[in-house]
Copies of this chain bind each other. A is one copy, B any other.
């Protein structure tokens, strides 16, 4: 398991201190919700660290062993949900999984999603990120037989109430194979998907 730091609510000094300690005992490290300054501090400690500015992830991926027994599909509707999807993908990868990314498949253009059915069917577990009405997990859940982890995103405006609409939609999904994590919690989705994919 990689070590993980949640950057939010910490100072760059605190992050750097924790990162240094963790890098001494673990090959891999994931820092989420990092500011650019935090990213720079971790890069000083480990030049191989990668910084992904759109999701705010910093990843140290020194041990790239694959532990997953199959593929994880990471799916989102459109461009705006990509940062959350990226957090999920980077998490799953650093935990030793092969991840298939499927984007631009919103529910209002259902045939683009159906065109990806082979990829969907190939997944052992699916992560679905969606903002606005958050309907994508229900549709994906109906297409696949595997567990679906739904991630509401805060994308939207007005009555999306910063992701509340998507969250409520996913909790009320009529697809029985859907569970839900917190709004914008790509990390949590990637983490649980990895645990599931290791089973076997």
Contacts and interface: CB of A to CB of B under 8 A. Distances in A.
State the main secondary structure of chain A at its contact with B: mixed
Contacts of A185: 157-158
A57 interface: no
Given A108-B139, A146-B195, A165-B169, A176 B187 contact: yes
Interface stretch (A19-27, A34-42, A44-52, A129-137): A129-137
A175 to B, nearest CB: 4
A88 to B, nearest CB: 12
**Which among A79, A133, A160 has the highest number of chain B CB atoms within 10 Å?**
A133
Interface residues of A, number: 75
Given A157-B182, A158-B167, 20 more contacts: A9-B79, A9-B131, A77-B174, A107-B142, A108-B139, A124-B199, A132-B173, A135-B135, A135-B139, A147-B195, A158-B172, A158-B182, A166-B169, A166-B172, A167-B171, A176-B188, A179-B181, A180-B180, A196-B196, A200-B200
Interface of A: 4, 6, 8-10, 14, 33, 69, 77-80, 106-110, 114, 124, 131-135, 138-139, 141-143, 145-147, 149, 152, 154-185, 187-189, 191-192, 195-196, 199-200
